[in-house]
Structure 1
Amino acid sequence: MAHVRVVIAWLPGMLAAPEPIRAEVSAVEYYRPDGRFAPDANAARIALAQDHAAEQLSGASLAEGFDATWQEVDRLCRAEPEGRVVRTRHGDPMLLSEFLLTRVVEVAVHGLDLADALGREPWMTPQAADVVQDLLLGPDNAAAPEHLGWSRLRFLRKATGRDPITREEAAEVDRLGIRWLTLG
Structure 2
Amino acid sequence: MGHDQVLEAFQLECGALGDAVAGLSGAEWDLPTRCAPWTVRDLLGHVCVVIDWLPVMLDAPEPGGAEISAAEYYRPDDRFSPGTNARRIALAQDRAAGPADGAASAEDFAATWRRADRLCRDQPGGRTVRTRHGDAMLLSEFVLTRVVEVAVHGLDMADALGCEAWLTPAAGDAVAELLLGTEHATAADELGWSRSRLLRKTTGREPLNETETARVERLGIHWLALG
- Give the TM-score of the pair, scaled to structure 2: 0.74
CA RMSD, Structure 1 to Structure 2 (Å): 1.8
How far off its partner does 1:49 sit? 0.6
Q: Distance in 2 between matches of 1:105 and 1:52?
A: 20
| SS of structure 2 residue aligned to 1:86 | strand
SS in 2 for 1:56: coil
Alignment of 1:3-152 (within 5 A): 3-152=46-195
Task: Please list the CA deviations of residues 96-128 of structure 1 after superposition, one character each: whole Å capped at 9, or x if unmatched.
Answer: 010011111110000000011112222311111
Separation of aligned partners in 1, 2:81 and 2:190:
31
Q: 2:213 aligns with which of 166, 170, 183?
A: 170
Per the TM alignment, residue 21 of structure 1 is displaced from its structure 2 partner at its CA by 0.8
Is the CA contact (8 Å cut-off) linking 1:22 and 1:85 kept in structure 2? yes
Percent sequence identity is: 66
Aligned counterparts of 1:168 and 1:175: Cα–Cα separation in 2: 11
Cα offset for 1:40? 3.4
For 1:155, give the aligned amino acid.
L
Task: Give, in whole Å, the separation in 2 of the partners of 1:66 and 1:17.
Answer: 23
Moved more, 124-133 or 146-155: 146-155
Change in CA separation of 1:174 and 1:32 when aligned onto 2, cut-off 3 Å: farther
**Rounded Cα–Cα distance in structure 2 between residues aligned with 1:181 and 1:14:** 25
- How far has the Cα of 1:171 moved from its partner? 4.1
Show structure 2 runs of 5+ residues with no match.
1-43
Q: Deviations over 1:19-51 (max 9, x none)?
A: 111101101111112221234323321221111
Deviation for aligned residue 1:66: 1.5
Quick one: distance in 1 between partners of 2:196 and 2:117?
27
Point out the more displaced range, 7-16 or 44-53: 44-53
SS of equivalent to 2:129: strand
Structure 1 residue 183 corresponds to structure 2 residue 226: yes
Contact 2:180 2:224 in 1 (8 A): no
8 Å Cα contact 2:202/2:225 also seen in 1: no
Q: Find the aligned partners of 2:174 and 2:201 in 1 and give their Cα distance.
A: 16
CA contact (8 A) 1:28 1:135 kept: yes
Q: Work out the CA distance in 2 between the residues paired with 1:58 and 1:182.
A: 34
1:159 is displaced (CA, Å) by 0.8
Q: Is the 8 A contact 1:160 1:180 kept in 2?
A: no
Structure 1 stretches lacking a partner, 5+ long: none
Structure 1 position 168, deviation (Å): 4.8
Matched residue SS, 2:150: helix
- The amino acid across from 1:91 in the alignment is G
